[in-house]
Structure formats: C-alpha cells, structure tokens
Amino acid sequence: TLASKEITFARNNWMCCESSALPVDPIVNPNQAVIDKLQEMANLYRNSNDKWRAYGYQKAISTLKKCHRPVTTYEEIRMLPGIGSRLAEKIVEIMETGSMIKLEEYQTDADIAVMDLFGKIWGIGPAQAKRWVDLGYRTLDDLRTKAKLTHNQMIGLKYYSEFLERIPRDEVTQIENVVREAAESIRPGLLIQTCGSYRRGKATCGDCDILITHRDGISHEHLLFPLVDKLKANGFLLDDLVYTDKHDEEPGISFCLWFIPIGSEAHPLSRNGFGRCPPTCHVYCPCGNMLDGNGCPICRCRPSNTCTGRHPNSFGRPPNSKTKIIY
C-alpha cells in the first residue's frame, strides 16, 4: 500500500535504521580509494578538534562502505544518504585527481601534522595534543624524554605502533578462548561472546571486545578483578590502561580497558579490551544506534546523545536497570 511504501521510504532516510553490517568488504570496496582519502581528512579534522567536519566525513565514509558499485558522477554521489553538495564536490575531486587540495594543505601544515601524530596515541585527545605542540614538542621522542606523562599516556606511547595495527581473526579467536577458560574456571555458567567486527565476520579487528554476562543478570557481578588477576598471573595480561575500583564507591563511574601487547614472550597473542558499563546502562535502545568518528554510539533519544543503542551482540534486555555488564 501507499502508506507502507511511505513508511519504508522514511525508514531508509534515518541513519539509525541503517544496518551496522557492511555488505562490501573494505579490501574489495569499489570506492576504497575515495574512502581512504576521506578517512585521512576525517582523522585530521578530528585530531585538530574540528568534530563536526570529522563527523560529516565519517558519515560519508560509512555510506560509501555500503555502496556495492563505484560512484562515478556528482549526481550519483548526491543521491547517496548523508552526503551534501560540498562533500560531493570533494569526492569528485578525489576521483579526478587522486587527492584533495584541502587534504594536501593540512598535511603540509607542520602543527596539524604533529597534532595528527600525537592524536594517534591511545587516550590523547585534540586538546592535549595541542598543549604539547604549544610546548614545542614535535616527535614521539620529544614526549618520551621531555613531557610529563600519565600512566595511560606512557602505555599508549609504549605501544604506539601496536595500537595502530589490526589483529588477525584467528588471533582474536585464541584470545577469546584464553579469556573464556579463565572466566569459566572462576565462575561456571557465564555467557561469553566476542563482539564488534569479530562477530560481524571481519578478517581483522581493531581490538577484541569480549562480552561476559549471565542469564540471571547477577552472577557475572564482581568478576572483573578476579578475572584480571588470573590473566595476569598466567602471563596473558601484561599491561593495563585503566584499572580502577572506583565503581564500587561511585556506581555511575565504571570503565576498565586492558591491553595485551604484541610479541609478548609470555604469550603469543596480542590485545584484549575489557569494559564495564555504568549500572544504569541499558543493552537496548528502541531507536537503534549509529557510530560517530571515534566509533562511539550516538543516539538521538536522550538529551546527552549517548547510549549503548540496540546492540546486535547483546544477550537480551537486563532484568533491571542496575544490571552490571562486562563487555
């Protein structure tokens, strides 16, 4: 009917109704050359604290990644969702010349190039990168020898190259198996699932996100610390980025991220991330979710514009709002 067609058309115009799965593998994407240049520009904007331009470029990148055929004309580009006239002109420029004047200008700007370098360190945002540039630091060695670094910054700098590498899928499988064995030895009956790009079937992953929960919504609580201690004791977990028991005192603040470096003599595996949601976090959101340029969920249904969204990797809605989840 006409009404159903109108509803279908309306849904197709909402980003939150777009599937998070990418039907075209980035390796064989027909628009990969354009995507690469747009990503370079998005990274530069993000690292120079121009969040809205970075967000606009990231939306265009997501659209092109889902495109099954190469776009060849301005008109075709304008027909794609999330791409305006100015960005369409930039894409045409890339197709015709292989680059963008704006990108080349940014890349030749010394301060922006250094901010981009510093911005790739784990945990470093545009504001901190700019402070270092203003202090005269220009290289990673400058930071190592001159800057006063926090624990997290030292770890991010120590494993700078490793953080930028992708993890092979079979290596993520091995990581999951090690974590599964350790978790089940502490508390049998847990539900354990590696999520993110691994669950979507990608050949490589940026990190390893492991969801650990229990069907009763309770038995997985207070598992994080004994699990981490066990993984450290067996030599699997070597360095931590954020490790705090603050959530025991302040339930609204609770997040932990862990790191396993590549090339460890103690274990051949690479990296693994643990996070803990705030107690008020919900697994489902009725509007769905999309990601910003940093890979963070964005939702329009709350004033804060942040929520977990409807996650395809979840095991179901928590039985109450106080359910804690380790993922």
* Residues 227, 183 contacting (CB under 8 angstroms): yes
CB contact burial 203-240 (16+ within 10 A = b; e otherwise): eebbbbbbbbbbeebeebbebbeebbebbeeeebbbeb
Task: Work out the angle at residue 136's Cα, subtended by the Cα atoms of residues 135 and 142, and round it to the nearest 5 degrees.
Answer: 105
Q: What's the full length of the chain, in residues?
A: 327
DSSP class of residue 291 equals E
Please state whether beta strands 204-205 and 167-168 pair in parallel, antiparallel, or not at all (unpaired).
Answer: antiparallel
For the question of residue 246 being annotated catalytic, the response is: no
Which amino acid is present at 216?
D
Structure tokens at 51: 């969040």
Structure tokens at 47: 């690292």
CA atoms within 13 A on the CB side of 18: 19
Task: Give the distance from CA 264 to its chain's centroid.
Answer: 24
Q: By C-alpha distance, which of 217, 192, 209 is closest to 316?
A: 217
Given the structure tokens 């502490």, which residue do they identify? 186
Within 10 A of 41 (CB to CB), how many other CB atoms are there?
23
Question: Exactly one of 37, 59, 65, 90 is catalytic; which is it?
Answer: 90
Structure tokens at 165: 């590498």
The residues annotated as belonging to the active site are 90
